[in-house]
Amino acid sequence: MGINKTMAGAPSNKDPKLSLLKEKGLIKRFTDHYSESRGRLIIYISASLMIIAVVAITLFLTVQGLRSFVIDRLNVWSFVTGTEWYPDRENNPSFGAFPFIFGSIAVTLLSAVIAAPVAVGCAIFMTELTKKWGQRVLQPVIEILVGIPSVVYGLIGLSVIVPFIKQYFGGSGFSLLAGSLVVGIMILPTVASIAADSIRSVPDTLREASYAIGATKWQTIWRVVIPAAGSSLITAIVLGMSRAFGEALAVQMVVGNARGLPTSIFDPAATLTTIITLSMGNSTYGSVLNDALWSLGLILLMISYIFIVIIRFLSKRRKA
């Protein structure tokens, strides 16, 4: 009480308690303030660097991406919806990016369809069925899988999945399906581990409630735990999708990189990322092709932002 009083009121030198407080180190010294503000400065700098980086990348990409429309006078609508991508044609080159936008979205959705059920199943297995084993064995295995470089997934796709599709479904094997399978397998561990976290965060009281009304284990998982984990499971899947959407290398190795619009999942295709990585090296800075590739990058960024907005929206709804 005495201390509070002294701290609250302006401490004066006449106060006999003040010397005691100084002795006990209760009064802040100048150097304390100094180290405090230095630490704060470092943290503020890190945070602002982060923000500056995001803003700078967005601005740079926007400026570069708009060049093709502003300087090269490409029509935005025909750029987005056109299906003919012949940037190197001598007379009348055409820049129709729709096949790549379609390819990216198709690979993303297909890989999510492939990965989501397996990942959620895996998450249920490791959280609800074999809690100890899942924690001790499966969790580290999944972490290793997350860390495998995408080129390795691409190589496996190239040597296993592509020949398989070629043999059983015909064609060259390089296809939308091959790309989706490779990316699906690649995002599987990411989705599984986030899904497992969200299932773990379902309070045990709900499981108890379910068992107490005579539910079986399966009924509890299916009708109580999964709905309760609900939107954060979807967040896990959307996060996986955003990763699939941005993947270039592994897809490029197996997708076939055809410039036309695929008519089935066994047809070769291309995505926004693969076309950028393949063409960027062959284009000169300032050329129409180069500008068009920047525009593809801008589209990529915009769709990525949409994914992030979806994720934020879902996690907000969960809290509410």
- Nearest distance from C-beta of residue 119 to other proteins, angstroms: 22
- Nearest distance from C-beta of residue 232 to other proteins, angstroms: 12
- Nearest distance from C-beta of residue 206 to other proteins, angstroms: 6
DSSP string, 82-108: ---EETT-SSS-EE--HHHHHHHHHHH
From the list 118, 147, 123, the residue with the least C-alpha distance to 134 is: 123
Nearer CB in complex with other proteins: 88/208: 208
**Phi then psi for 95, rounded to 5 degrees?**
-120, 85
Nearer CB in complex with other proteins: 215/301: 215
Nearer CB in complex with other proteins: 93/230: 230
Nearer CB in complex with other proteins: 167/205: 205
Nearer CB in complex with other proteins: 114/224: 224
By the 8 A CB rule, do 270 and 99 touch? yes
Residues forming the site for other proteins (CB under 8 A): 203, 205-216, 219, 223-224, 227-228
CA atoms within 13 A on the CB side of 21: 18
Nearer CB in complex with other proteins: 67/207: 207
- Nearest distance from C-beta of residue 138 to other proteins, angstroms: 18
- Nearest distance from C-beta of residue 212 to other proteins, angstroms: 4
Determine how β-strand 94-95 pairs with β-strand 85-86.
antiparallel
Alpha-carbon span 236 to 194, nearest angstrom: 6
Sign of the torsion angle spanned by Cα atoms 3, 6, 7, 13? negative
Q: Residue 123: is it exposed, middle or buried by C-beta count within 10 angstroms (0-12/13-18/19+)?
A: buried
From the list 146, 242, 233, the residue with the least C-alpha distance to 198 is: 233
- Nearest distance from C-beta of residue 240 to other proteins, angstroms: 24
